[in-house]
Chain A
Amino acid sequence: MLDKIKDFASTFFVTGDPLIYGADVSIALTMIAILFVLTYYKKWGWLWKEWLTTVDHKKIGIMYLISSLLMLFRGGVDALLMRAQLALPNVEFLNAEHYNAVFTTHGTIMILFMAMPMMFALFNMVVPLQLGARDVAYPFLNALSFWLFFMGAMLFNLSFVIGGSPDAGWLSYPPLSEMSSSPGVGQNFYIWGIQISGIGSLATGINFMVTILKMRAPGMKMMKMPLFSWSVLSSCVMIIFAFPILTVTLALLFLDRFLGAHFFTLDGGGNPMMYVNLIWMWGHPEVYIVVIPAFGIFSEIVSVFSKKKVFGYKSMVFSMMLISVLSFFTWVHHFFTMGAGADVNAFFAISTMAIGIPTGVKVFNWLFTMFRGRIQMKQPMLWTLAFIPCFVVGGATGVMLAVAPADYQYHNSYFLIAHFHQVLIGGVVFGYLAGIYYWWPKLFGFKLDERLGKWAFWLWNIGFYLCFMPQYALGFMGMTRRVYTYGWDMGWAPYNIVSTVGAFMMGIGFIFQVWQISYSIKKGDRDLTGDTWGGRTLEWSIPSPPPVYNFAVVPEVKEQDAWWDMKEKGLDKIRPDHYEPIHMPKNSSIPFIMSVFWFVAGFGFVFGWMWMAVPGMIGVFGCLIARSFSYDTDYYIPAEEVRETELALRGNV
């Protein structure tokens, strides 16, 4: 009996690596610490009532933000491990297998569990406020989306200490990801972690699309809507069209592995190339899904910090919509070298380059907005300025990659790695950081310290160029991606060491940001006006942090920058003399519980344990039924309470 248990434990838990024992210990310690703190300060009830069951979009946004920062840390540690391994030739710090697992989890986590939730954090924190709405269209579904993402991410992360990490790359190409090459459970963790959180993402796409189409304040025509909300809409359109493809692709891969089907296997008539097509039909739009909201953020920030209306509003809107359509016609550029033929390659080369045009339009619009503006170098603006050159260079190397014949030279080389990190870090990460700095005071009621922020900014930026510029050169020198070590004779060592130094500088930059946040919680400037930066859009018209119901009285919109317009006309000082009761959704425990059941089911599927998967799925359906039968889902905040809250928040002005 004891032997059996030992046997089981040695396959169940990942053993034999000091790094992993370290992780085991730190996970256990963190868990104990959390449990202790919650119990000691009697915070369980608070946690449950205020957070785990909340349907308030602002709190959901904050939970997304915290989880995505944790995932940035995890993905960042993976990145530093890889860069440490590659710093010098013949290093044996990570072995080949471990290196495979690390680049796989790094890529997957960064895109699906860092960039996506950080984007959803911003959606949730900002969109309803910008629209002058009291909530999103489906608050319950919104909470469910968050918890599905969270449980999916946890399931994926668990693979590190239980069962073993996936190691077939972030897109899991077959036959590497098939049973024949990856017989362990790591690949199943990949499938179920992404599948569960992917359902949540799809629901968020629907939710925000309807929110934007239907919940705008009276008078806010589509063409008067803030550009960030437009960018969210275009991102949601892409989510709605792309994510179902991902769902199917992962499901088919699972059927191959679990039921012995032959979609992508080398035997039985399967076709691995079909997987590659399917995954990139999702994968390419996915990179635009995460970058378009960053464009929206820049548009807001550039205009606020230049004290000018954004230049070329209509062309901004049009170019975003065009990008979201074009993004579905470029996927083959990821495998120009796989023998599709010259005509097919030519089509996709041209369609890829075509995206450069609307993107260029946007860059020029931002520059024109700044031109002759009164530019204020606050943190959000700094990151925006850093973004522009970075994205221009990244875009240019992207066009180089899109030249199909030339791609035979740098396909899967470090040139590619440098290119996509340049757009993902320079575009997505810098963009979201700018957005977080910009909207932080709105959500939390205080500003993040400028001095520490500048340190973080320069560390990130210098580190970035040190890290990725040498990699373009390495690509031309023949260094391919996913190699775990190399010899002195290659001559790659000097470039690699510089690159590693740069990576660690970015790591230090991140530490400065953590410090910045914890410092500012105590000492940051409190924002009493609600309008820290002299904003132009409606979110700045309400107190910071906003009350649950956001707007005591739903605003009437007349112009494009509605709040700016009100300020100019002096309407901002007027306080309503009369309030109405406000209709709000009630908290619910179902999203959380249902997601826990998903987690249980997912874990069961990973190990092929039907005794666990089946009850998990029954739980999921049980929750659906429970929701369908509950009718008591909303309540009214009495007018008197609204009045008191407003008085307390705004003083007697």
Chain B
Amino acid sequence: MAQTAAAGHADHGHDHHEDHEGLKVLGFWIFLVTDCILFGTLFATYMVLRTHYDGGPTGAELFEMPGVIAETFILLTSSFTSGLATLAMHQGKVKSLINWLIVTAVLGAAFIGLEVNEFINLAHEGATISRSAFLSAFFTLVGTHGLHVSIGLGWMVGLMFQLKRRGITAVTKRKVTTVSLYWHFLDVIWIFLLTVVYLMGVM
């Protein structure tokens, strides 16, 4: 009797963990829905204000496309490498999982570096957030995306330590899954940004 109870217990615990992790992934999907609405609101604001230059510089005057194209390539590549990381995880290869995460994070950091650089250049030209409604909307929309990427970076770095220490478990697996979901999501948002802000801006 004692034995069956103990065995039942162990099984039970295992089940529970699996369910819990599945539950968290579902919650994360819903979180992404809310994040979509957040970005949607920012996009709508930008659309309303995108021609409100108030005598200040316009998008066509400000945007430097080569930098933006580089950012796009870097981010798309990082999405690809984060996919490779998940692949490695499913094959149970911790080392290569961590390495791909490192590559992803480095690419993400390069993206942020370029963006910060762009913002500094703009500010030097007098195009700051307080110059016009157009620029307020621009900095807020693009900046919010950048902030998301930065948070993703911090999260990924934290995760690498956990993977090193614990290897691939139900919990770390779920964490890798969610972080890469998040990363792909940011990639999609960027495509919209590229189109609505930059391409439509220079056209």
* Chain A residues packing against B (C-beta within 8 Å): 137-138, 202, 206-207, 209-210, 213-214, 240-241, 243-245, 247-249, 251-252, 255-256, 259-263, 265, 267-271, 274, 278, 580-581, 583, 621, 625, 628-629, 631, 636, 639
List B contacts of A214 (CB < 8 A): 23, 26
With A262-B132, A271-B52 already in contact, the answer to whether A202 and B34 are too (CB < 8 A) is: yes
Are A245 and B37 touching (Cβ within 8 A)?
yes
Are B41 and A249 touching (Cβ within 8 A)?
yes
In this complex, the member of B13, B41, B53 whose beta carbon has the largest number of chain A beta carbons within 10 angstroms is: B41
- In the complex, given contacts A262-B132, A262-B136, A271-B52, what are 14 additional A-B residue pairs having Cβ atoms less than 8 angstroms apart? A137-B27, A206-B34, A207-B27, A214-B26, A244-B35, A249-B41, A252-B45, A263-B49, A269-B133, A269-B134, A271-B49, A580-B9, A581-B9, A628-B162
Are B158 and A268 touching (Cβ within 8 A)?
no
B38 at the interface (CB under 8 A from A): yes
Are A278 and B41 touching (Cβ within 8 A)?
yes
With A274-B45, A625-B158 already in contact, the answer to whether A268 and B129 are too (CB < 8 A) is: no
CB distance from A236 to the nearest CB of B (A): 9
29 examples of A-B residue contacts, CB within 8 angstroms: A210-B26, A210-B30, A213-B26, A214-B26, A240-B30, A240-B34, A240-B37, A244-B38, A244-B41, A245-B37, A247-B38, A248-B45, A251-B140, A259-B130, A261-B129, A261-B139, A262-B132, A263-B140, A265-B133, A269-B49, A270-B136, A274-B49, A278-B41, A583-B13, A583-B16, A625-B158, A628-B175, A629-B162, A631-B171
A631 to B5, CA, bound (A): 25
Encode B127-149 as 1/0 by CB contact (under 8 A) with A.
00111111011011000000000
Are B136 and A629 touching (Cβ within 8 A)?
no
A255 to B138, CA, bound (A): 13
Residue from the list A240, A252, A270, A278 in contact with B33, Cβ < 8 A: A240
Are B27 and A206 touching (Cβ within 8 A)?
yes
Are B132 and A268 touching (Cβ within 8 A)?
yes
List A contacts of B31 (CB < 8 A): 206
List B contacts of A243 (CB < 8 A): 34
With A214-B23, A261-B130, A263-B133 already in contact, the answer to whether A206 and B30 are too (CB < 8 A) is: yes
Are A268 and B54 touching (Cβ within 8 A)?
yes
A521 to B139, CA, bound (A): 56
CB closest residue in chain A, given B30: A206
CB distance from B46 to the nearest CB of A (A): 10
Are A210 and B137 touching (Cβ within 8 A)?
no
* Chain B residues packing against A (C-beta within 8 Å): 5, 8-9, 12-13, 16, 23-24, 26-27, 30-31, 33-35, 37-38, 41-42, 45, 48-49, 52-54, 129-134, 136-137, 139-140, 154-155, 158-159, 161-162, 166, 171, 175
Are B12 and A263 touching (Cβ within 8 A)?
no
CB distance from A128 to the nearest CB of B (A): 14
CB closest residue in chain A, given B8: A580
CB distance from A267 to the nearest CB of B (A): 8
List A contacts of B13 (CB < 8 A): 583, 636
List B contacts of A256 (CB < 8 A): 136
With A268-B132, A271-B133 already in contact, the answer to whether A631 and B166 are too (CB < 8 A) is: yes
A583 to B49, CA, bound (A): 52
CB closest residue in chain A, given B175: A628
Are B158 and A628 touching (Cβ within 8 A)?
yes
A247 to B31, CA, bound (A): 14
List B contacts of A262 (CB < 8 A): 52, 54, 130, 132-133, 136
